[in-house]
Amino acid sequence: MTYPLKILGAAFLFNLLIISASSCEDEPFAKERQIMVEQDIKGRGIADKKILNVMLKVKRHLFVDKELQGQAYADHPLPIGEGQTISQPYVVALMTEALKLKPADRVLEIGTGSGYQAALLAEIVKEVYTIEIRKGLADMAAKRLKGLDYGNVNAKYGDGYFGWEEAAPFDAIIITAAANHIPPPLIKQLKDGGRLIIPLGSTFYYQTLTLVTKQGKELSMEQLGGVSFVPMVGKAQKR
């Protein structure tokens, strides 16, 4: 009696394989995502294979509202509610690449927004800590990241200016909102040899994407080009 059951089991498995293979092909936006990576990410100079692979894997359309999903793979920012935006894919790739992440790293992100950047980081490193100051966005992103099974992302609601003391120090810190200075608590919470990236400058117009490396008491800075981010609010604006 076990024989037919085995055959049934095999047939079931076979069907499952066919279903998953075809759903892969039918995955909405797979083609768009591939074109985005080829043209806007690789095509504009991002060479790190790890970054290209995760940009190909993480579905940006799942991080925006249904009516905006058709634009999710165009190289521009998109609104995510409360006047905030999910950053342009190329800038996300550029910032992530600059951090030179390693698999065992622990990374802090300031400005969870949609959770897209946190998801990309979670694909690359061991642990991600992300802070969002707007409650509605914080709750939505935490729920989304949990739904997508990112068990290595710790998300909280609060002012990222102060970092995440209990989880510090971090190998890398990424600030995805514009500030006119680097919050001192974040420098403190960065490991020696760690890297921090921030859109630094006027919070009303353009900023310079700045990569900071901590070497003992010294900070070395490298400018990576002009960007335009939404402002970092909270303590960053009150100083």
Relative to beta strand 106-110, strand 84-86 is unpaired
Stretch that binds ligand SAH, among 31-39, 49-57, 126-134, 206-214 (CB under 6 A): 126-134
Under 8 Å between Cβ of 131 and 158: yes
Under 8 Å between Cβ of 202 and 208: no
Neighbour tally for 99: CB within 10 Å: 22
Q: Does 52 bind ligand SAH (CB under 6 A)?
A: no
Stretch that binds ligand SAH, among 54-62, 109-117, 190-198, 202-210 (CB under 6 A): 109-117
Report how far residue 226's alpha carbon sits from residue 15's, in angstroms, rounded to the nearest whole number: 51
Torsion of CA 206, 68, 57, 127, to 10 degrees: 60
Annotated catalytic residue within 87, 202, 220, 228: 87
Q: Does 98 bind ligand SAH (CB under 6 A)?
A: no
Q: Which of 111, 163, 194, 199 binds ligand SAH (CB under 6 A)?
A: 111
Report how far residue 150's alpha carbon sits from residue 104's, in angstroms, rounded to the nearest whole number: 16
Stretch that binds ligand SAH, among 20-28, 66-74, 185-193, 227-235 (CB under 6 A): 227-235
Query: How many residues of this chain bind ligand SAH (CB under 6 A)?
Result: 25
Tell me, yes or no, if 114 is annotated catalytic. Answer: no
Closest CA to 36 of 90, 79, 86: 90
Where along the sequence are the contacts to ligand SAH (CB under 6 A)?
84-87, 110-111, 113-114, 116-117, 131-134, 137, 159-161, 176-177, 230, 232-234, 236
Could you list the active site residues?
87
